[in-house]
Structure 1
Amino acid sequence: MNYQIKDIGLADEGAKKVEWAYREMPVLDILRKKYKNSKPFAGKKIAACLHVTTETANLITTFRDAGAQVYLCASNPLSTSDEVAAYLAREGIFVFAQRGEDSKSYWDNIRRCIESEPDLTIDDGADLTVTLHKEYPRLADKVVGGCEETTTGVHRIEALNKEKLLKFPFIAVNNAMTKHFFDNRYGTGQSTLDGIIRATNILFAGKRVVVAGYGWCGKGVSMRAKGMGARVIVTEVEPVRALEAIMDGFDVMPMDEAAKIGDIFITVTGNCNVIRFDHILKMKDGAILANSGHFNVEIEVNKMEEQKVSKRRIRHELDEYTFKDGKKVFLVGEGRLVNLAAAEGHPSSVMDMSFANQFLSSLYLLNNKIEIGVYPVPIEIDREIARLKIESMGMSIDTLSEEQEKYMKSW
């Protein structure tokens, strides 16, 4: 089959949503127009494991217009927009994704994309990359290169490389300045709170919000929660980041202490069991738990399932857990990525830069012979995307004069 989706009849609705998102993606629009005629990806297959959202649709159709044959699957069982998947299927994209798909379907869809024998891969969390290396080593040997979108995925690919198991070069798109400065900080910051509010309809003002992790995503979440009137507490394991959080005006303490006083808990670390069940036992009745890290391992949900007396779905993407002592806690989006499980992901304007990085980095991999390893986005690509974004916003910046350039290069 060319696609595995919920309902092709949803395509019209998806088309309107994709069109709306595209209005906020001027850099991708520039790239689409620039490469539509030359088609640099002609004859190439791309396997992409991404959140199937309106923004992703615009990236995928940009690749399509540049000549690529694209195979798309979801990078999270709860992140797919069925309307968008239907639109892409109608547009001729090989798309295998359905919101709420079970574990077997999720992994089968990843394998379908791998079995297309891709020339390039684009990943979000490295599930496709790891499956390709473990189960399809022969096909991995033929891949020209890959791009990774997330911090979690970059960590996994770097671990593969460290063990000398990586079979083709990767560009860590997540680490581009025009990605983590904006997507992680402003995108995650806004969309995480958006997901929690949609699921709970709570007021953030006056609440104690505990943010686990003060990387770029944690900075964004903390900044936005503070801006909405919350009293923010940060938990960290890295002393420099913890110090930065203090200097930014936040309280910093271990999770053991924060658990006793927090109202809302948000994990953004990329690690497992950041909120353990023994932390949950210390929380006040009515505490709300949400995860904005890539995988659903940051909150010890399995222990919550084992120890619960009862569980019920009380609102859309909000589950109430009751424990033996009568305490109730509320879990948003099953502990999965909250901004996509309970909302629509990042705003299009920040994904514009992230996906422009994906497009140009893929083109760079195709046009350059690179040894196996994990590489940053070339600085010239990062700066060009920033320049185009500034231009699209109707603004401009200064340039150095010959005298200034000479001065800066002189000892």
Structure 2
Amino acid sequence: MDPSGAQYDGTMTDLGGESLAAERVARAVAAATNLIYAGTPICVLGTGAASRRLSEMLRGFGARVHEVSVDENGRIGQRQAGLPLIEMLFVCDPIEGERPDAAQQLPDLREILSADWLADGAIIVDAGVTALLEQLGAVADEQAEVHKKEVRPGVQLVYGAGFSRFLVRVQPSELPRTGPVSPSTRSVDGAPSPSTAPETSAVARGVARIDWARRFMRTTIRLADDLAATGLLRGRRIGVSLVLEPKTAVLALALAQAGGEVAVFANAGETDGEVAAALETLGITVFAAADAGADGDARHAAEILDWAPQLLIDDGAHLVRLAHTEHPAALDTLLGAAEETTSGVRPLREMAAEGALRLPVIAVNDARTKTLFDNVHGTGQSCVLAIADLLDAADVRGGAVRGGRWVVVGYGPVGVGVARHAAAMGASVTVVERDPVRALGALYDGYEVDTLAQAIVSADVVVSATGHAHTITVDALTEAADGCVFAVAGGVENEIDVDLALARGFRRTPVLPYVERLHRPDGGELVLLAGGDGVNYTAGEGNPIEIMDLSFATQILALRMLLDSVDSSGRSVLATGVYELRAEGERAVAQAALSARGVATEAWNAVKGAGNGGGWREHRYRRTGVGESGEHPPVPSGAEPPASGAKMDQ
């Protein structure tokens, strides 16, 4: 039942049914793979309105959507000049009751597997009733060199001599799956996972998920290998305090492979039990448990500081602040830290301004290779799709984003990403922002801008994207439209004032996992997602793998910057304070990511001069013939020097 009272008949052929079908396909593939759409070369093959809507949506997400030719018999054309290798292919039949655009036969699995424009390891999505997976058994039986196996729920690996493809089956008419996945136990290259545990064990499932993430984290692995070659990390203790899920596990294992001794910490709400168990089996010290509770979290936080790390990767600056307030002995061994988040950099700068910070910290969050990708594309996609999954599962407004009135509070990089992805899915977006420059930017990006008090009274969905506590106050919850949905993107504790609302007479009742109703004391109800925590890492697997690959590669460069500053006595020569990653570090991460994608770029060299190659003295109004020294240039033999002010040929 829609909490707003609106009725939805559940059919796929009503006006906008193709939009819901396209949304479900995009969401299901993201949930099954945890991969990013932005920047990915994608092709959508289909003959109906849903496939066109899917293409439009993916373009709005930032995907590089390309077309390939298919004739009336379903035969695929050859690769066209300039077409990149396609990494994700959607094959979409018209949804039930939808009239196709033309009498065109879609290609079968044999035709697709032989396409020369598909990248090795490409994702092939069977969206609709094309039954590509049903053909898989026949293809494997016909061709002995073709093999298949499941690597994640709903993801089949098809591989043979010199090729591999992944097949994902989704049905637009099916409700979404929410929450973390539990894949199988085999690694993506066909080898057994590095675990002797039974395939049904939590350890084996966790190892399989780490294997999958590692496949797409090529930049992190490459830069960790470079760090290993320097020997700088050998014997160093590194504490990693991040959301404990498969991507974090890949980072921890890469740092251990580079010579470090690694321990990880996370609070219970950010700990994936399967991944924690897998990491312990693989030799990483883990100070975390999914069932730890508040007391257990506090104990684990103290234990990782007592473990005496020399380098720290922090999230929210929680461990750095804990060391400064309650565990000062940890500062005796810490050479420096790297901070992942906006909400962590903010208090660190306050500490530095007050003279309270006692170690150098690299603001990884402020690096372009983090903020421009993790915050905008990663958090934007993962939060909006997680919200949409929960709305669909709870039948809020028929499950569709399209046509809904979304309010995004905060227009920093996270807010930009949330607004962009919601708009790409067809929502009408209003931005609430206190900074007038950012508010003006939202207006120029095509969104309405208003105050929270005005926007909230007609909103269907409100997303807090500020990273500040008490953004959504009890007054806002009281004034919101009945049935309004509230969620947090990224998030800090109490970004929505849930505890205070409960103290003032609100009641909460569960509807589905990660979905609750908030009953107001004076009547009416709201919908709260993920308990007011970050919706993407609570109700899903967090940011897409390739996005965290960039963030964690940036973390490795930050560690390199800290290690390069350690003198022969073993102490850092960096003064206490908050530092930005050097521009050459950002470029190194970006170049490694481009190379991993096979993208060629012009060689980087610093531009000198005033933009015309002649140095700063060369400008529009300089006296003709006067060189940088202020003298006339040498006159060729037999020529006369120009008169002062004379015009020379250009």
TM-score (norm 2): 0.60
Match of 1:12 among 193, 204, 207: 204
The match for 1:387 among 591, 594, 597 is 591
- TM-fit CA distance, 1:223: 0.2
Is the counterpart of residue 139 in structure 1 residue 330 in structure 2? yes
In structure 2, the partner of 1:328 is 525
Q: Which amino acid in structure 2 is aligned with residue 105 of structure 1?
A: G
Shift of 1:405: 5.7
Structure 1 equivalent of residue 508 of structure 2: 311
1:359 maps to a residue whose letter is I
Q: RCO higher in 1 or 2 (8 Å CA, sep ≥ 6)?
A: 1
Deviates more, 1:313-322 or 1:214-223: 313-322
Letter in 1 for 2:531: E
Counterpart among 237, 256, 272 of residue 64 in structure 1: 256
More helix by share: 1
> How far apart are 1:39 and its partner, in Å?
4.0
For residue 33 of structure 1, what is the amino acid of its counterpart? D
Aligned to 1:77: 268
How many angstroms apart in 1 are the aligned matches of 2:304 and 2:476?
Answer: 40
The one of 348, 373, 379 equivalent to 1:182 is 373
Equivalent position of 1:196 in the other structure: 387
Whole-angstrom distance in 1 between the partners of 2:524 and 2:409: 22
Query: Is 2:473 the partner of 1:282?
Result: no
Query: Hey, what does 1:291 align to over in structure 2?
Result: 488
Identify the residue that residue 103 of structure 1 maps to in structure 2. 294
Q: CA deviation at 1:195?
A: 2.2
Equivalent residues of 1:78, 1:340 under 8 A apart? no
Q: CA deviation at 1:400?
A: 6.3
Aligned partner of 2:443 in structure 1 is: 246
Q: How far did residue 399 of structure 1 move?
A: 2.9
**Displacement of 1:149 after TM fit?**
0.2
Instruction: Report the counterpart of residue 220 of structure 2 in structure 1.
Output: 28
Q: Secondary structure at the match of 1:83?
A: helix
C-alpha displacement of 1:37: 5.5
Corresponding letter in the other structure for 1:351: M
The answer on whether the counterparts of 1:9 and 1:86 sit within 8 Å (CA) in structure 2 is no
What is the CA–CA distance in structure 2 between the aligned matches of 1:128 and 1:214, rounded to whole Å?
28
Over 3 Å counting, the alpha-carbon distance change for 1:301 and 1:393 in structure 2 is same
After TM superposition, the structure 1 = structure 2 runs for residues 126-275 of structure 1, keeping only pairs within 5 Å, are 126-201=317-392, 202-275=399-472
Question: Are the equivalent residues in 2 in contact too, given 1:39–1:65 (CA < 8 A)?
Answer: no
Aligned partners of 2:203 and 2:274 also within 8 Å: yes
RMSD: 1.8
Shift in Å, 1:113: 0.6
Per the alignment, residue 345 of structure 1 pairs with 542
Measured after TM superposition, the shift of residue 306 of structure 1 is 2.0
- Counterpart in the other structure of 1:410: 615
| Code of the aligned partner of 2:615 | S
How far did residue 324 of structure 1 move? 2.5
* 1:344 Cα deviation after fit: 0.8
Q: 1:401 Cα shift? A: 8.2
Letter in 1 for 2:452: M
In the other structure, the counterpart of 1:5 is: none
**Residue type at the aligned position of 2:489:** S
Provide the secondary structure at the position in 2 that maps to 1:78: helix
Residue range with higher mean Cα deviation, 227-236 or 100-109: 100-109
- Give the whole-Å Cα distance in 2 for the aligned partners of 1:200 and 1:41: 46
Describe the superposition over 1:274-312 as per-residue Cα deviations: whole angstroms up to 9, x where unpaired. Answer: 111111111122111111143122111112212345422
Residue 382 of structure 1 aligns with an amino acid whose one-letter code is E
Structure 1 contact 193–225 (Cα < 8 Å) conserved: yes
Percent same amino acid among aligned pairs? 33
Q: Which residue identity does 2:563 align to in structure 1?
A: L
Residue 124 of structure 1: CA displacement?
0.7
Max radius of gyration: which structure?
2
Match of 1:40 in 2: 232
2:555 to 354, 358, 362: 358
Work out the CA distance in 2 between the residues paired with 1:19 and 1:165. Answer: 41
Q: State the AA in 2 paired with 1:113.
A: I
Distance 2:227 2:360 in 1: 24
1:46-91: per-residue Cα shift (whole Å, max 9, x none)?
12211001111111111101111112111x5322211111111111
Partner of 1:119: 310
8 Å CA contact 2:379–2:490 kept in 1: the answer is no
> Are the equivalent residues in 1 in contact too, given 2:380–2:418 (CA < 8 A)?
yes
Taking a change above 3 Å as real, the CA distance of residues 408 and 65 of structure 1, as seen in their structure-2 partners, is farther
Question: Contact 1:147–1:362 at 8 Å: present in 2 too?
Answer: yes
Counterpart of 1:172, as a letter, is A
Change in 2 beyond 3 A, CA 1:106/1:401: closer
Letter of the 1:410 partner, please give it.
G
Name the amino acid aligned to 2:482: D
TM value normalised by structure 1 = 0.94
- Which letter does structure 2 place at the counterpart of 1:153? G
Q: Distance in 2 between matches of 1:190 and 1:401?
A: 34
Q: 1:409 to 1:235 in 2, by over 3 A?
A: farther
Q: Secondary structure at the match of 1:198?
A: helix
1:217 to 1:100, Cα distance in 2 relative to 1, 3 A: farther
Structure 1 CA distance for aligned equivalents of residues 459 and 605 of structure 2: 53
Aligned residues: 402
SS at match of 1:290: strand
Cα distance, 1:344–1:24 mapped onto 2, change above 3 Å: same
